Structures are given as C-alpha cells and as structure tokens.
Amino acid sequence: MIGDFVDEVNIKVIAGKGGDGAVSFRREKFVEKGGPDGGDGGDGGSIIIKSTLNKNTLVDFKYKKIFRAKNGENGKNKKKAGKSGENVFIEVPVGTCVYDLETNELLSDLKVPQQYLVVARGGKGGKGNARFATSTLQVPRIAEKGVEGESKNLKLVLKIVADVGLIGYPNVGKSTLISRISNAKVEIADYPFTTIVPNLGVVKINTGYSFVVADIPGLIEGAHLGKGLGDQFLRHIERCSILVHLIDISCFERDNPVEDYILIRKELESFSHILSKKKEIIVANKIDTIQKDTLEKRLTDFKNRTGKDIFPISAYTGENIQELITMVWNHISKEKIEQQKLFEKRIKSAITERIKIQPVIYEPDPYIKINVIKWDNETFEVVGDGIEKLLTRYDINQKDSRLLILNTLEKNGLNKILKNAGVKEGDTVYIGNFAFEYIP
C-alpha cells in the first residue's frame, strides 16, 4: 500500500492470566482461633475490538501488532481479593472485518459505530485457601492458580463504508467528479492511476442529509487477478448501496466506451457475486469535449449494444451534475435514512452500555487418561493432557494440592496403571516436576 492508507493487517492479542489464590492464615495477637484467610486472585484483563467513526484506516497497526492485557493480581491475606487486570480496547474504523488468522473464520463484521467484539477473554482468578476450609480440612494449604487468558492471531480487513462507489477505467474523470460533488480534496493529473488510494467525499443534500462517495482507484482488465492496482480496492465497493460507472464518452483516452463498460463488468462479476448484483448508474463523462451530434450517436450506440441507459455529464463544467446527485439520492435515500437512525441510536445507547465478559474458567476433567513413560529401569513419568491441566490449576508443591492431584489420579486408576507399566516398589515416579517414591 502507498501512503497512510492501510486496509489489511495481522495482529496478535493476548489476554491477561488470572491471579493466583493466596495461602494465608490469621495470626492476630488477640484472636483466639486463627484460620485460613487467603483471598482469591483477580481475573485477567480481556481484549476488546471497538468500531469508531474517528478512524478511516488501519495504519495504527502498521507498527504495533501485539496487544496484551494485564494479568490479575494474586490474592492477599485477610481474604482480600487481587485486583482484576484492566481490559484493553482496540479501536478500528467502522467497516472492519475481524478474522481468525488460523482458520480464516469471520468473527465479526463491524458495520456500525460503537460495536464491540471480545476477541480474547482474560483468565479466571484462582481461589484462595479460605475457600477450601471444611469441617474435615480446617487448615487447608491449598490454593488455585489463575487460569491463562486466551491468545489469538487475527486478521483485520477494512472495507470502506461508502454509500456510492465510483468505478471505471483510469482517467475517465472519477477524481474530477468526486471533487466537484463533495468536500473531497483529491489529486488530479493526466496519467494512469492518479488515484492510488480510495478517496472519500461527503455529498450534502438540501434536506439536511448526506451520503458518502468512494472514488475507487482505476480498474483495468484482469484487476480481480491482481493486475494494475489489482484487487486491493475491489472489496471496498462491496458495501456500497449503488455503483456509479463512469465511461469516457469522448474516446480521447480510450476508443471504445462499450468495450470498456463490458470489461469492467466482467471484473466485478469475477471478483464477487455481491458486486455483480449491485445497482448501478452508467454515466457518460466528458461530453464537453465532443460535438452534440457525435455525442448523440455514441449514446445511442451504447444503448443499442448494452441495452442499458447512460446518463451524460461533464464533471469538468458541471453540466447535469445536480441531476446526477438527485438520481443517486433517489436510489439510496430510504436505506440511508434508516442507517442514519440506526447509527444515532447505537451511539446514544453505547454511552450507558456496559460490557459483561465471562472470564476463561477451567475445571479439571473428572475423567483423565493417564499414560506412563519409562525413562530407565527405576524412573517413570506420569503424563497426559488432563494431568497437564491439573498441574496448571494446582501447585503440586503445596501439600494439600498434591493430595488433591493424587486423589484425582487415583480415582482414574493411577495405581493399576503404574503396576501394568512395570513400576516396582521404591521406583521414582514423576508428576510434573515433583518426584515420588512409589509405594503400592
């Protein structure tokens, strides 16, 4: 891409880990009976993508591609919970599609302002030992570890939200037209691909409404395959309500308006079924450069060969420009007015809206598949996905946590599996980084 217009980026998002629960006991001077008072860990921060009207490009992600949310704080004594990690909000332009980079699944199409998508949830904080006290375990030395937050690789693809898309071959006058009908300040020159990024302009209507026009960089034959400026910008007209297809009727730059029209239509159809079905207004530009009788012959020839009406204008002199604006507005007014009401309602409701995020919760599986690896004649290791999950949730170096892990594994047949694997009394058995002497 050239300049500061960026419409496709890859980023990585990493949510925060939940804080660990605390193992703590009351030791106050005048408290006759102490007890466990370890608090819970705080939840990890989540990562949220939010659409905004204040941005129109993804250039912010050109250099910053990794976003991390803070971890939750560990629990404290006196049953004090750790502070949860702050959520991270990533602002993107309205019109951004969010894809999972690994699966290419579309996670959300952010079509309206203030739309939110939680892309990575923070992990749940672990319980402190105060939560494990029972009548039979009055002094628990056990606490949960915080759960890891989600991590994802994402692809952000911007499709400009414009009501009208100006299309046509290079140098047919699109930049001149958009500069005349809107507030857009565009570069205009006499060479191919003057427009190298989409230009946006706002056209105001007497009724107080307005609509957005996108001047799409010149298309050529083979654009859908990446030729010329290629398919970089074809996606930007998929959202448009209507296409204004500009034809150079003067034949100075290109000598066959009908063929030009047919070739561009083929490019649209080859790129997307959506584009092939878009409503269009065909416009003959540069009528100020040819004689009236020549113009009439070419307009009639176009109608006869395509079966479609073509509206004559001069973007340079302004002839028939107001009529063209009225024609476009008549096609899109109903949809645009409804969209405007939706935007206003969405922005208003977002002021008081609160996002509720369920953190990532992990509960160990009751049924665990246990495997045994033999390292030598006297050393073995117990492994398995369920075991790894247990070790991420509980600290095997804590006595009561260790008993919980062993009891869970024994319920899943640990002793029998060890015997079948050839483990003998006195052999060393590893679970995680903890070594046991095996006693049947």
Coil, helix or strand at residue 74: coil
170 in a known ligand binding site: yes
Spatial distance between the Cα atoms of 301 and 255, rounded to a whole number of angstroms: 13
195 in a known ligand binding site: yes
Distant-in-sequence, close-in-space partners of 385: CB < 8 Å, separation ≥ 6? 369
Q: Are 329 and 337 in contact (CB under 8 A)?
A: no
Residue with tokens 């009501």: 163
Sheet containing strand 106-110, edge to edge, reads: 66-68, 8-14, 151-158, 96-100, 106-110
287 in a known ligand binding site: yes
215 in a known ligand binding site: yes
171 in a known ligand binding site: yes
207 in a known ligand binding site: no
Q: How many helices and strands, by DSSP H and E, does the chain display?
A: 8, 18
173 in a known ligand binding site: yes
217 in a known ligand binding site: yes
169 in a known ligand binding site: yes
191 in a known ligand binding site: no
194 in a known ligand binding site: yes
260 in a known ligand binding site: no
Of 99, 120, 113, the residue nearest 56 (C-alpha): 113
103 in a known ligand binding site: no
87 in a known ligand binding site: no
193 in a known ligand binding site: yes
What count of Cα atoms within 13 Å lies in the side-chain half-sphere of residue 128?
Answer: 23
172 in a known ligand binding site: yes
197 in a known ligand binding site: yes
288 in a known ligand binding site: yes
Spatial distance between the Cα atoms of 106 and 360, rounded to a whole number of angstroms: 21
Q: Are 249 and 256 in contact (CB under 8 A)?
A: no
H/E stretch holding 261 reads helix 257-271
Binding site for GTP: which residues?
A: 168-175, 193-197, 215-218, 285-288, 314-316
Binding site: which residues?
A: 168-175, 193-197, 215-218, 285-288, 314-316
Binding site for Mg(2+): which residues?
A: 175, 195
